[in-house]
Structure 1
Amino acid sequence: MPTPHPHRHPARRRLTGVLSAACVALGLGVGSATAASNGGAPAYVPGEVVVGYESGTGSGARAAAAKAVGARAGTAPSTRTRVLHVKPGKVRATVAKLRRMPGVAYAAPNPIARASQEPAMPDDVGIRGFPGGLAGVQWNFFGPNGVNALAAWGNVAAAGAPGGRGVRVAVLDTGVAYRNVGRFKRSPDFANTKFVAPYDFVDGRREVVDRNGHGTHVAGTIAESTNNRIGVTGLAWGVTVIPIRVLDSNGYGDAATIAKGIRYAARHNAKVINLSLEFSTSVRASEIPDILAAIRYANKRGAVVVGSTGNEGEARVAYPARAGIVISVGATTDNACLASYSNDGVGLDIVAPGGGNDAQLAQDPACVAGHRGRDIYQMTYTNSVRRFGLPSGYHGTSMAAPHVSATAALVIASKVLGARPTPAQVECRIKATARRLGIPGPNRIYGWGLVDAGAATSPTVASPSCMSRAARANPR
């Protein structure tokens, strides 16, 4: 059975092995009608044309030019410039006509710029007295070895989808403290988070509770309420979460139950499915056919499936993350070193902050022998299902995976890949924009590198072109 719990792990192997390239970044031309380079916001003022007239062109000639193209004169930014108002959809045709007229120096649409400033740090309070304040607590979001959260928030806000609004993310786990159910209370930091279509496949109930705390922590990394003066932040705080319970109070769940949960998430229009769970690395694909079929079903319905590589410290990725169409996520520390517990090897796609101690990797100068790294903090239970706080002790690939799930949701919301990107396109975008770690190129220790939500959602970063599935790297 899979388990979400972290473990103690042996010393790591030396850093070796390089995987072949799966994504390449290509420069693309900027379209004339939309604002891919403007974060998804409108690129031009609708129905406006800016015209510059040559010296000596009188007011009568300017008025005649406007009348000839059926435009109404508006503001005058300078003595030789006019803003003309035309019917929607006629801007390009009007520009073309004006450019052919005598006395016209230039004619163009009226483009819209946007501020390039990143959002300010949110006002969530973090942990009282913690060194560095909120940025110190959530080093995984805001620190130099975090996922570049502020830039990502600026990008999706400019695209009209603050925090990833409009994207559904399913969290298959021990449950989520998303509402009050009997003695089980809602996490205070989910007050502004949206939840839909909950289901408990362990007990067969439509109401979901979390009897463990793990699922609440994972969901918090993805969508904890932000800028509400409570606790900490969620990376994709504007998304809608589908809480699905597939693991019991001890963190265990069987393959049949998990497969049901995956299919349920896909049927309820999840665009991202987070699986912070693992089977033993000895489990083979032939032993979990229902889960693999469910993952294929979700993929065909447009869901990005993200899974944790496992916490045994082995050079082998555990299922379900090992499945070829799952984004497999290993864990890094606050040093941007592979975590000592994190599984790696062929099939590792990317890494994300998971906390804990550095692995012993002699060839990686980022790894410091004996370094005891910080944990991942999100609001969850402290000592009972009635008490919430920011407990220490949470580190693992379970904590790493939701960073990638949240980034996938932000990529979809940003529309940098268009309105309806495929799971393969989202995966390739995340890989292509990752921060390279360790030896040059994609490798078996760090995959494509550390996920960078800011770069992945940036309209100024070229969109990747993915190779065919048959030629893709990271063979499972």
Structure 2
Amino acid sequence: MRNRPLLPALGSRRLAVALAAACAAVAAAPSGAAASNGGAPAYAPGEVVVGYEPAVDARAQAATARAVGAAAGSDAGSTRTRVLRVPAGQVRATVAKLRRQPGVKYAAPNPIARASVVPLPDDTGIKGFPGGLAALQWNFFGDRGVGALEAWTNADAAGAPGGRGVRIAVLDTGVAYRDFGRFKASPDFAGTKFVAPYDFVDGRREAVDRNGHGTHVAGTIAEATNNRLGVTGLAYGATVMPVRVLDSQGYGDAATIAKGIRYAARHNAKVINMSLEFSTSVRASEIPDIMAAIRYATERGSIVIGSTGNEGEAQVAYPARASLVVSVGATTDQGCLASFSNDGVGLDIVAPGGGENASLTQDPNCQAGHRGRDIYQMTYAGSVSRFGLPAGYDGTSMAAPHVSATAALIIATKVIGTNPTPAQVECRIKATARALGIPGPNRIYGWGLVDAGAATSPAVPTPSCLARTSTRAPR
């Protein structure tokens, strides 16, 4: 048996607003037509918008309004456009009359726009869970979550729903992506795309999970959404590359992990998730093959995401500690650093990981002794052929895939260009993070809580660091 220094990190749409108004078939719509915007009318009652040709002066406009039985009304931002008042129920008839009048360029009802909202998915969650799916997946939808609803709205608008088209390699215990002997596929991956799996532990093409950890991690990234089953994945449209580098107990050696990193990069993974850790006593000089593999992957355009570790120490564990890896610590449902989460110099960002609050008297979010909710994704529940939403999964392993999914959404939406570099994606993640209880950047929360909604929003400015080749000094 190989010497194995690795101790794995086991256990371990907010509303978007965009105004839109449809112009098709408005002339045929009745003035009081019902809308799908929470019961509000589709059109302003008794109002008609009319546009006049340039030669029609104010006196002629008023005469036209009188001719069709409408009050002159107010201007609509132009001297040639007016909002006319008409009797209730006469909007359609008035529009038809106006269109026959000389000098009228157009006439239409006055439609009411609404905030464009991506609704909460219909995934069932756990039956009877207080607060339903929104409370169960607080890490996505709550005020301490990552802004999933807004991110999905942005991705839909960009024509890349759920991060469609981006490859994410999950280097872990494997993924329950297909049936293989006694191992069964997770039913909530039925709509998820998988590509180029490989098992570096047993040396075979099938990278099937023997543990459940990798399935949970992959679920956070790309579990199917809006399928009336289980819960949701943040980048549900992305393509997952299962790469097994940890055995059924969750252990894996440095040489195997390095092979997995290189394989993922060669097979065009744009994002590589490593929810694994070495002991904090392991130094970069002891894992030269991994350090070289990370450089290789970065040079090929893969952004590498790693978990900081679960010892509760003020020191980030490798491989996350490597300067080219985006290191991710864990937060609780109160927005406090989790008690198990490693922090310290080199911590880049935090994401929901569940668990108990750390003791941080300087942070008002950290209620002493608070044991928060876990992270729920579909994975093995008691056997490798039975699936559920088991409790007990918390850790920096659970935090890292939130950042990997956010990276995929940034790439898919092209919010910072069509082919951003790993450094540019990292910069965007940091620049759009939400500050927590201690102003950052700092060694407790890095740049703050990852915010997929802000990171994918075209309205959020592109930070100047995107012009740089690197966003961190070596460490």
Which residue is 1:310 aligned to?
A: 309
Report matched runs for 1:218-257 at 5 Å.
218-257=217-256
Structure 1 equivalent of residue 462 of structure 2? 463
Per-residue CA deviations over 1:8-33 (Å, capped at 9, x if unaligned) read: 9xxxxxxxxxxxxxxxxxxxxxxxxx
One-letter amino acid of the counterpart of residue 212, structure 2: G
Q: For 1:36-77, what per-residue CA distance to the aligned partner results, in whole angstroms no more than 9, with x for missing partners?
A: xx99xxxxxxxxxxx9974269xxxxxxxxxxxxxxxxxxxx
Q: Is the 8 A contact 1:377 1:394 kept in 2?
A: yes
1:337-373 CA distance string (max 9 Å, x none): 0000000000000000000000000100100111011
- Please report the TM-score for the alignment, with normalisation by the length of structure 2: 0.78
Aligned to 1:274: 273
Superposed displacement of residue 137, structure 1: 0.6
Tell me the equivalent position of 2:7: 3
In the other structure, the counterpart of 2:55 is 55
Structure 2 match to 1:193: 192
2:296 aligned with 1:297, yes or no?
yes
TM-score (norm 1): 0.77
Q: How does 1:423-462 map to 2 (within 5 A)?
A: 423-462=422-461
Separation (CA, whole Å) in 1 of partners of 2:252 and 2:143: 36
Cα shift at 1:447? 0.2
- In the TM superposition, what are the counterparts of 1:274-353 in structure 2 within 5 Å? 274-353=273-352
Specify the SS of the correspondent of 1:221.
helix
Higher relative contact order (CA 8 A, sep 6+): 1
Partner SS, residue 464 of structure 2: strand
The separation in 1 between residues aligned to 2:469 and 2:361, in whole angstroms, is 34
Match of 2:138 in 1: 139
Q: Which runs of 4+ in 1 moved over 4 A?
A: 78-81, 467-475
Aligned residue in 2 for 1:388: 387
Query: Following the alignment from structure 1 to structure 2, what is the Cα–Cα distance between the partners of residues 321 and 149?
Result: 24
Report the AA paired with residue 7 of structure 2: T
- Percent of residue pairs bearing the same amino acid type: 77
Q: Does 1:400 align with 2:399?
A: yes
Deviation at 1:5, TM superposition (A): 3.7
1:329 maps to a residue whose letter is V
Deviation, structure 1 residue 467: 7.2
Matched residues in 2 for 1:278 and 1:227: separation?
33
CA contact (8 A) 2:11 2:394 kept: no
Distance in structure 2 (CA, Å) of the matches to 1:205 and 1:330: 32
Deviation at 1:440, TM superposition (A): 1.8
Residues of 1 paired with 2:221 and 2:455: CA distance?
16
Provide closer, same or farther for how the CA distance between residues 330 and 474 of structure 1 changes in structure 2, counting only shifts above 3 A. farther
Instruction: Confirm whether residue 118 of structure 1 aligns to residue 117 of structure 2.
Output: yes
Do the aligned partners of 1:55 and 1:80 also contact (CA within 8 Å) in 2?
no
C-alpha RMSD of the superposition: 2.3
Residue equivalent to 1:168? 167
Taking a change above 3 Å as real, the CA distance of residues 470 and 411 of structure 1, as seen in their structure-2 partners, is closer
Please state how far the C-alpha of 1:470 moved relative to its aligned partner. 8.7
1:298 is displaced (CA, Å) by 0.7
SS in 2 for 1:370: coil
- Give CA-to-partner distance per residue, 1:294-318, whole Å, 9 cap, x none: 1111111111100000000001000
Residue 349 of structure 1 contacts residue 474 of structure 1 at CA under 8 Å; is this kept in 2?
no
Q: 1:467 to 1:232 in 2, by over 3 A?
A: closer
Change (3 A) 1:242 1:427: same
**C-alpha separation between the residues in 2 aligned to 1:301 and 1:348?**
24
Higher-Rg member (1/2): 2
